[in-house]
Structure 1
Amino acid sequence: MSDLKSLLSSLAHFPSTVRRLLTSGIVIQVFPLHDNEALKKLEDSWYTRFTLKYQPLDRIRGYFGETIALYFGFLEYFTVALIPMAVIGLPYYLFVWEDYDKYVIFASFNLIWSTVILEVWKRGCANMTYRWGTLVMKRQFEEPRPGFHGVLGINPITGREEPLYPSYKRQLRIYLVSLPFVCLCLYFCLYVMMIYFDMEAWALSLHESSGSEWTSVLLYVPSIIYAIVIEIMNRLYRYAAEFLTSWENHRLESAYQNHLILKVLVFNFLNCFASLFYIAFVLRDMKLLRQSLATLLITSQILNQIMESLLPYWLQKKHHVQVKRKVQALKADIDATVYEQVVLEKEMGTYLGTFDDYLELFLQFGYVSLFSCVYPLAAAFAVLNNFTEVNSDALKMCRVLKRPFSEPSANIGVWQLAFETMSVISVVTNCALIGMSPQVNALFPESKLDLILIVVAVEHALLALKFILAFAIPDKPQHIQMKLARLEFESLEALKQQQMKLMAQNLKEESREGNKEEEA
């Protein structure tokens, strides 16, 4: 009996015990094995057949958990939401290719589109998470993250012995080391951007001096090189940001993720979009803006497909052959199939969460919503990329990476705020592009100040309309609000009945004690 109690006690503290073992280095990695039978059924309904159909989100949730299922749900929804932009952009590209005056209409549609899709997603997300039972999930007390270290002490909340680290030391690390490093990286990416513009000027001068059609190809070379450099810098900075955020020694995983996301988003936004803002509002060269946007978008999509799925899958297949040879050579007494699976999955890559996946969609949303009015095919290329992204990400989850532990989620978290912030920036950008168009400038040939004031007024009006739409469209559909209210009412009624029973039981006990005293 004592052994059973000790076992139950150890299981109750299993997560914290594993965290301590991982932190100390005694345990290197912990992961669940893939269920081959369930995985095969999921693959058959998910990505093995290339057909245009909805993803089996309930099955994905049953196998991988709500967090990953929500990502694939958002990827599917975002792809479908891009189709109207792509349908409008294709004929717009074909018939008004050189007529930049008319991109005012496309920019105006872009403003409405970027606002509505995010508000509608909230409702769809609420429907899914209500069906899964995680909509009203509240954050429980968080255990210290595995990398957290400090002097052992007693936690005043839990009463447990755990590492303690002063908050002021963490703040000093953030403001004296992390913040200057991030600023230095931002300056470096701006310096690389100016080198890119020097390369553009060199290629243009070479083309103009030669006058050959062959040198026109050189006009795209600087943009392609710059796009590759951007991807390399983003990945290198990501490693540096992870190291800095771990070195800051955050106690909770949520705090660690928030600081990491903030660092990465700021750098990626400036690194990917600074050149486009410079071309649009300093150089005011719409032809170069169109060329740079197309090159950056297409090159980044190709590199992401290769680096995230195709290359890891090829390496995994090569390793799988080597593992089979080792298992056949060992001829151990143990189950060779299980041994082969353990050895194979041990060498698989570890899924680091949905961070990189959402980041890719965030940058794609920026390319489409900020400057697609000067390159209407951006949405079409994004749709084509996302159709293949669904299959490549599914392949990555099922065959390339270890099976992650299931994590419940009520929504996409801080990424909803990131996308909404990008949509606000898109309002400002598109209003500025509209104000710079020759069509609008022709209405104010003399007074540029009046034009600036009108553009600012329209921008504020559109931002006000955006927030009104966000308030008018409820985050939860009415039928879900009614069901949640009914659940709350039933829980209150059950609590009242329980309290009444306790009161009645107390009265009975008091009356019994009173009768005993009278008899005595």
Structure 2
Amino acid sequence: QVTHMIDNEGTVLFAMFMAIWATVFLELWKRQRATVVTDWDLYRWDEDEEELALELINNLQHEPRRYQHSYFCSTILLLLALLMIAVLIGSAHALVVVRVVAMALFAQSSIELLREQANTVAVMAGAVLHYITILIMTKVRTPAAGSGACSSTSILPSHSIPLPQVNKKVASFLCDLEKPRTFSQYENNFTMKIFTFQFFTHFSSLIYIAFFLGRINGRPGSYVRIAGKWRLEECHPSGCITDLFIQMAIIMMLKQTISNVVEYFGPWIKLKLRRRKQRPKKRNVILEEDEEAEDPCKRQWRDNYELNEVNRFSLFDEFLEIVTQYSFTTIFVAAFPLAPLLAFINNLVEIRLDAIKMMRLYRRMVPRKANDIGIWLQVLEAIGILAVIGNGLVIAITSNFIPMQVYKYTYSPCATGNRTDVDCLTGYINHSLSTFRIQDSELDSEMPEALLDRHEVKEYRDYRNTEDYSHTAQFWHILAVRLAFLILFEHVALCIKLIAAWYIPDVPQSVKNKFLERKHNNLRKDLRWVMPRRCQG
């Protein structure tokens, strides 16, 4: 039922719709951003210019830091980033090994349910382990004050940023190498590194399941084995897209529920302990209580001070969480169509929890000027392009959509046009099976002779010849159609995205007219002083 729900003709239209929706969403966000920053008179505000102005106010002899670039440092930085990505991909390979061993153990279990559903249970266990890996790699902890991660010449000390636990040392070392010139440059570079690490942490295992699971495990009689013992796992009998569906469903639901509980009750418990610790000191001072009763402002300041401490980057993790959720909602949405619905429900709950946290559990944040969300917008645009590529690959490679269409229009009873009273996919399952001789098995010497006599031939899902087990012409035919569909889908989707981006202006006409009127009034004021002088001359 799951395969029928997500592996059909409507999946292509849904994936195309999500690609268009992602573009329209970003374009509408740009329009809303332009309206808001215009109302706050920040449309043409320059953060670098304001930083220079503040430096000059503090010291008129201040000299700006010059732009510098070192190819050696850039090369080292790139190699270290690639090394970190390789480690994250290696963790996904470790999960593969764990799933293979777990499936072998479940298949030999004394519990009948585990034996019959060994593949599904192994996939679910792997999804839970993947989520635990995500927690370990992305767990947030604010370093202790004074433990600066960057050098003294860096713009921002590390104790003001909540860093992912595992990525903290890597980000700190990269900060030492880069030595960004301005705070905004540091912020952009830091964001890109952390998001890249987070992306591979979340999606490495999903990429393996989507595009490699069941395709590198060999064939009957010549299976690929780990340590010569455990055979690589295969896809679910209903198709590889079912494994991807289960993996994404478990990760997304666990991530949303547990994250919301921890993010809310963590600060709440911390605040309760903080107030219990400070209560004896404050209740014994009668004079201060009288002053608070007379001065409401002082009482409000004290109440705000008693809340949990915040720092300048308190919203960074909120941005990162939302962008990660946006990735789950768009990338691989063809395999998990429920992702947008789960994200919508989660946002309805989380927006209230975040409001309660900011108003009741944390101190008021120090306001900071900004006319956009910075490099996050470019990250969202990159995710939109990755979504087109990812969904195209899922439909073309992971799902059975292409093999079914090839059978329907080439080999089915409807292909000749003579039979119209039967389903065009009748006989598809048998047509997609290949035969294997039991005597060619790797374990034929260990099998009883009676078993070999009763079952001389076994069927498995693949397109191979019976004699030498090489791929049939139909396999290459389907592969060619897969590649053709992938190229066609991506080009059409990207063209539609570009047309949608062009069709919806980034800046509303009201904002443009407001700037035009402002420019016209300024020119009129300037010419009012120039024209009389010319007339007098």
Give me the TM-score of the superposition, normalised by structure 2: 0.67
Structure 1 residues 499 and 317: alpha-carbon distance in aligned structure 2, compared to 1, 3 A threshold: farther
Letter in 1 for 2:135: E
Separation of aligned partners in 2, 1:182 and 1:426 = 23
User: In the TM superposition, what are the counterparts of 1:84-103 in structure 2 within 5 Å?
Assistant: 96-97=4-5, 99=7, 102-103=10-11
The offset of 1:350, in angstroms, is 2.4
Instruction: State the identity %.
Output: 24
Structure-2 residue corresponding to 1:275: 205
Structure-2 residue corresponding to 1:429: 390
Structure-1 residue corresponding to 2:452: none
Letter in 2 for 1:243: S
Structure-2 residue corresponding to 1:220: 124
1:223/1:296 contact within 8 Å kept: yes
Judging by fraction of residues, say which structure has more helix. Answer: 1
Structure 1 residues 225 and 332: alpha-carbon distance in aligned structure 2, compared to 1, 3 A threshold: farther
Separation of aligned partners in 2, 1:144 and 1:306 = 42
User: In the TM superposition, what are the counterparts of 1:286-297 in structure 2 within 5 Å?
Assistant: 286-297=241-252
Letter in 2 for 1:295: I
Letter in 2 for 1:375: F
Structure-1 residue corresponding to 2:368: 407
The offset of 1:322, in angstroms, is 2.1
2:270/2:308 contact within 8 Å kept: no
Structure-1 residue corresponding to 2:158: none
Letter in 1 for 2:190: L
User: In the TM superposition, what are the counterparts of 1:495-510 in structure 2 within 5 Å?
Assistant: 495-500=526-531, 503=533
Structure 1 residues 240 and 212: alpha-carbon distance in aligned structure 2, compared to 1, 3 A threshold: same
Structure-1 residue corresponding to 2:137: 233
2:333/2:339 contact within 8 Å kept: yes
Q: 1:362-381 CA distances to partner (integer Å, 9 max, x unpaired)?
A: 11111111112222221221
Letter in 2 for 1:113: W
Deviates more, 1:96-105 or 1:484-493: 96-105
Structure 1 gap segments, 5+ residues each: 1-92, 147-153, 509-520
Structure 1 residues 491 and 354: alpha-carbon distance in aligned structure 2, compared to 1, 3 A threshold: farther
Separation of aligned partners in 2, 1:428 and 1:237 = 29
- Where 1:408 maps in the other structure, the secondary structure is coil
The offset of 1:289, in angstroms, is 0.7
Structure-1 residue corresponding to 2:261: 306
The offset of 1:166, in angstroms, is 8.3
Q: 1:411-431 CA distances to partner (integer Å, 9 max, x unpaired)?
A: 222211111110111111112
Structure-1 residue corresponding to 2:88: 189
Which of these residues, 449, 452, 471, is aligned with residue 480 of structure 2? Answer: 449
1:431/1:459 contact within 8 Å kept: yes
Structure-2 residue corresponding to 1:492: 523
1:186/1:270 contact within 8 Å kept: yes
Structure-1 residue corresponding to 2:513: 482
Separation of aligned partners in 2, 1:145 and 1:363 = 35
1:323/1:344 contact within 8 Å kept: no
Which of these residues, 196, 206, 219, is aligned with residue 266 of structure 1? Answer: 196
2:3/2:241 contact within 8 Å kept: no
- Where 2:51 maps in the other structure, the secondary structure is coil
The offset of 1:479, in angstroms, is 2.6
- Where 1:287 maps in the other structure, the secondary structure is helix
1:351/1:402 contact within 8 Å kept: no
Separation of aligned partners in 2, 1:477 and 1:164 = 37
1:111/1:427 contact within 8 Å kept: yes
Separation of aligned partners in 2, 1:459 and 1:289 = 21
- Where 1:283 maps in the other structure, the secondary structure is coil
Structure-1 residue corresponding to 2:457: none
Q: 1:163-206 CA distances to partner (integer Å, 9 max, x unpaired)?
A: 968835x7655543x43332222111111111111222233233
Structure 1 residues 492 and 345: alpha-carbon distance in aligned structure 2, compared to 1, 3 A threshold: farther
Structure-1 residue corresponding to 2:19: 111
Structure-2 residue corresponding to 1:252: 182
The offset of 1:127, in angstroms, is 2.6
Separation of aligned partners in 2, 1:145 and 1:442 = 65
The offset of 1:114, in angstroms, is 1.8
Letter in 2 for 1:232: I
Q: 1:258-285 CA distances to partner (integer Å, 9 max, x unpaired)?
A: 1101111111111111211111111162
Letter in 1 for 2:126: P
Give me the TM-score of the superposition, normalised by structure 1: 0.69
Letter in 1 for 2:520: F
Structure-2 residue corresponding to 1:150: none
Structure-1 residue corresponding to 2:61: 160
2:123/2:247 contact within 8 Å kept: no
Which of these residues, 302, 308, 329, is aligned with residue 368 of structure 1? Answer: 329
1:228/1:300 contact within 8 Å kept: no
User: In the TM superposition, what are the counterparts of 1:134-173 in structure 2 within 5 Å?
Assistant: 134-139=42-47, 141-143=49-51, 160-161=61-62, 167=68, 173=73
The offset of 1:122, in angstroms, is 1.6
Separation of aligned partners in 1, 2:385 and 2:3 = 29
1:122/1:475 contact within 8 Å kept: yes
- Where 2:212 maps in the other structure, the secondary structure is helix
Letter in 2 for 1:244: F
Which of these residues, 204, 217, 226, is aligned with residue 103 of structure 2? Answer: 204
Letter in 1 for 2:18: N
Deviates more, 1:212-221 or 1:196-205: 212-221
Separation of aligned partners in 1, 2:304 and 2:392 = 56
Letter in 2 for 1:391: R
Separation of aligned partners in 2, 1:464 and 1:428 = 13
- Where 2:49 maps in the other structure, the secondary structure is coil
Q: 1:203-230 CA distances to partner (integer Å, 9 max, x unpaired)?
A: 3233333363367656523311221211
Separation of aligned partners in 2, 1:406 and 1:344 = 16
Number of residue pairs matched by the alignment? 403
The offset of 1:360, in angstroms, is 0.9
Separation of aligned partners in 2, 1:233 and 1:364 = 16
1:241/1:260 contact within 8 Å kept: no
Q: Is 1:126 aligned to 2:30, yes or no?
A: no
The offset of 1:251, in angstroms, is 2.9
Deviates more, 1:398-407 or 1:375-384: 398-407
1:435/1:441 contact within 8 Å kept: no
Structure 1 residues 162 and 478: alpha-carbon distance in aligned structure 2, compared to 1, 3 A threshold: closer
Structure 1 residues 453 and 145: alpha-carbon distance in aligned structure 2, compared to 1, 3 A threshold: farther
2:402/2:481 contact within 8 Å kept: no
Structure 1 residues 485 and 498: alpha-carbon distance in aligned structure 2, compared to 1, 3 A threshold: same
1:431/1:458 contact within 8 Å kept: yes
Separation of aligned partners in 2, 1:214 and 1:279 = 21
Deviates more, 1:383-392 or 1:195-204: 195-204
Separation of aligned partners in 2, 1:114 and 1:332 = 59
